[in-house]
Amino acid sequence: MARFSFLELARQALSGHQGWPRHWRSRELQPRYDILIIGAGGHGLAAAWHLARDHGARNIAVLEAGWLGGGNVARNTVTIRSNYMRDDSIPFYVRSVALFDRLTRDLNYNTMHSRRGMVDVLQTWGMVRDRRRRRLTMDLHGATYRPMSVPELRRMVPPLTGGGPDARLPILGAEFHPDAAVNRHDAVAWGYARAIDAMGVEIHQNTPVRAILRGADGAVTGVDTPRGVVRADKVALAVSGHTTTLTETAGLRLPLRTINLSAFVSEPLQPCLDVIVNCPDLGVYLSQSDKGELVIGGATDLGQSFRRDVKQHVFEETVAAMLDLFPAFRQVKMLRQWGGHLDIAHDASPIVSATDVPGLFVSAGWWGGYKAIPAGGMCLAHLVATGTPHPLAAPFGLGRFRHLDYVLEAGTTTAR
């Protein structure tokens, strides 16, 4: 792997940039590996990277049904934050935000990380109390929230002209979360892929897994793909909405249901928003991308769904909510929309866990899993390599459902 540096850039410039190597190689699929990771999304790639770097594992293959970076790692709003509510969750997300902060250096790949902060616009007294409670809990774990007055908020976010005293929901206050950031999702996927390829991990795209295979003793023996059976004693699933589809081929039922979460992007505008704005009372949040587009996220579709499109009324309700606070955006044209199907656990918290099937590990239930990619990958790698949960992910085992020891943590925006 040619290390990216100023010197390398200058050297390549002399040869007209024709000599840059491929980020990762396409290789022959071997019949056996030590570890199989299913899903070359953010979590799967990050797990492979931590397995190779921290645990010395090399004989790993990452199998991807589609193309690398084409799943939920590209179907999100790149919002990285740690303003959670439970003692079990906050340290995990604090670590994830810290790992994201240094990912560009760790991967030697520009993830275009922008630590711009997020402001929560509060429009009901219930939400003011909820965020105050979060602030006090977060203080204990090193995440930061800072209360902000309405004039201070309006200075920070000039296009936020709605929500005045005559509005249906007047703005009562705000909380600023300076740790929050956005980055470039493709760079995260490609950066991890390039780094793990350099360490000898194989990435196989267009290799959907049809079934998980078990031996006579019940343990995992490999997976079945259209390219043939691939054997491994350890199989880790990081496939988001398709987790239960795969585990059911091994006779394993999990407390997950698959839902659709959508987001929208506007046409590019002049720079007008240099902070992530979250409006939990209205159920919409937005930021402005480096290209100038408004990136808008909203509520989930209600029922279970394996679709990746957007329902018209979900789009309308989300955009109408945004216009309540940003009336100037009324004339903005929307450019793109996408939905991703994600799986949500019974208690809305993630699952990083061994299962009743020996050798089968799952990382699932990521509702807003983009921010959790580095820490989720780190914890999955630790679990696969050592067989014991990483301390940060210990509360997120499947055993919690058996013992009714739920981590009740809904998201900040979309769980209304």
Partner 1 sequence: MLLIECPFCGPRAEIEFSYGGPAATRRPDDPAQVSDADWVDWLTVPENRAGPVPERWCHAKGCGAWLTVLRDTRTHDILDVRHGA
Instruction: Kindly tell me which of 348 and 394 has the beta carbon lying closer to partner 1.
Output: 348
- 311 touches partner 1 (CB under 8 A): yes
- 358 touches partner 1 (CB under 8 A): no
Place of tokens 């206050």: 173
CA-based nearest residue to 35, from 343, 378, 380 = 380
Q: What is the C-alpha separation between 13 and 131, in angstroms, rounded? A: 51
Figure out which of the listed residues 257, 269, 272, 327 binds partner 1, where binding follows CB under 8 A: 257
Instruction: Kindly tell me which of 122 and 256 has the beta carbon lying closer to partner 1.
Output: 256
Instruction: Kindly tell me which of 266 and 305 has the beta carbon lying closer to partner 1.
Output: 305
Q: Of 93-101, 108-116, 158-166, 249-257, which segment contacts partner 1 by CB under 8 A? A: 249-257
Figure out which of the listed residues 168, 313, 330, 333 binds partner 1, where binding follows CB under 8 A: 313
Instruction: Kindly tell me which of 147 and 255 has the beta carbon lying closer to partner 1.
Output: 255
CB of 35 to partner 1, least distance (A): 26
Instruction: Kindly tell me which of 137 and 353 has the beta carbon lying closer to partner 1.
Output: 353
Instruction: Kindly tell me which of 338 and 401 has the beta carbon lying closer to partner 1.
Output: 401
Count other C-beta atoms under 10 Å from residue 12's C-beta.
Answer: 15
Q: Of 14-22, 265-273, 307-315, 329-337, which segment contacts partner 1 by CB under 8 A? A: 307-315
Q: What is the C-alpha separation between 29 and 7, in angstroms, rounded? A: 35
Q: Is the dihedral of CA 344, 371, 336, 287 positive or negative?
A: positive
Figure out which of the listed residues 303, 330, 331, 333 binds partner 1, where binding follows CB under 8 A: 303
Q: Of 40-48, 299-307, 330-338, 385-393, which segment contacts partner 1 by CB under 8 A? A: 299-307
CB of 237 to partner 1, least distance (A): 14
In this structure, are residues 383 and 389 in contact, taking their beta carbons and an 8 Å threshold?
yes
Q: What is the C-alpha separation between 257 and 244, in angstroms, rounded? A: 8
Figure out which of the listed residues 140, 219, 302, 335 binds partner 1, where binding follows CB under 8 A: 302
Q: Tell me, what amino acid is at 376?
A: G
DSSP string computed for 140-202: HHT---EEE-HHHHHHH-TT-----TTSSS---EEEEETT-EE--HHHHHHHHHHHHHHTT-E
Instruction: Kindly tell me which of 77 and 258 has the beta carbon lying closer to partner 1.
Output: 258
- 304 touches partner 1 (CB under 8 A): yes
Residue 250 token pair:
């091994």
- 305 touches partner 1 (CB under 8 A): yes
Q: Pattern of binders to partner 1 over 217-246, x per CB under 8 A?
A: -------------------------x-xx-
Longest dimension (CA), the chain: 69
Report the length, in residues, of the chain: 416
Q: Pattern of binders to partner 1 over 319-348, x per CB under 8 A?
A: ------------------------x--x--
Residue 104 token pair:
């560009």
- 195 touches partner 1 (CB under 8 A): no
Instruction: Kindly tell me which of 256 and 380 has the beta carbon lying closer to partner 1.
Output: 256
- 289 touches partner 1 (CB under 8 A): no
In this structure, are residues 359 and 385 in contact, taking their beta carbons and an 8 Å threshold?
no
Figure out which of the listed residues 307, 323, 328, 410 binds partner 1, where binding follows CB under 8 A: 307
Q: What is the C-alpha separation between 405 and 251, in angstroms, rounded? A: 24
In this structure, are residues 289 and 114 in contact, taking their beta carbons and an 8 Å threshold?
no
Q: Of 60-68, 128-136, 231-239, 304-312, which segment contacts partner 1 by CB under 8 A? A: 304-312
Q: What is the DSSP letter of 22?
A: P
Question: Which residue blocks in 199-332 are alpha helix, DSSP H?
Answer: 243-247, 312-325
Which positions ≥6 away from 245 have C-beta within 8 Å?
A: none
Strand-pairing partners, residue 368, are none
Q: What is the DSSP letter of 247?
A: H
Residues 84-123 that bind partner 1 (CB under 8 A): none
List residues near partner 1 by CB under 8 A: 242, 244-245, 253-258, 302-307, 311-313, 343, 346, 401-402, 404
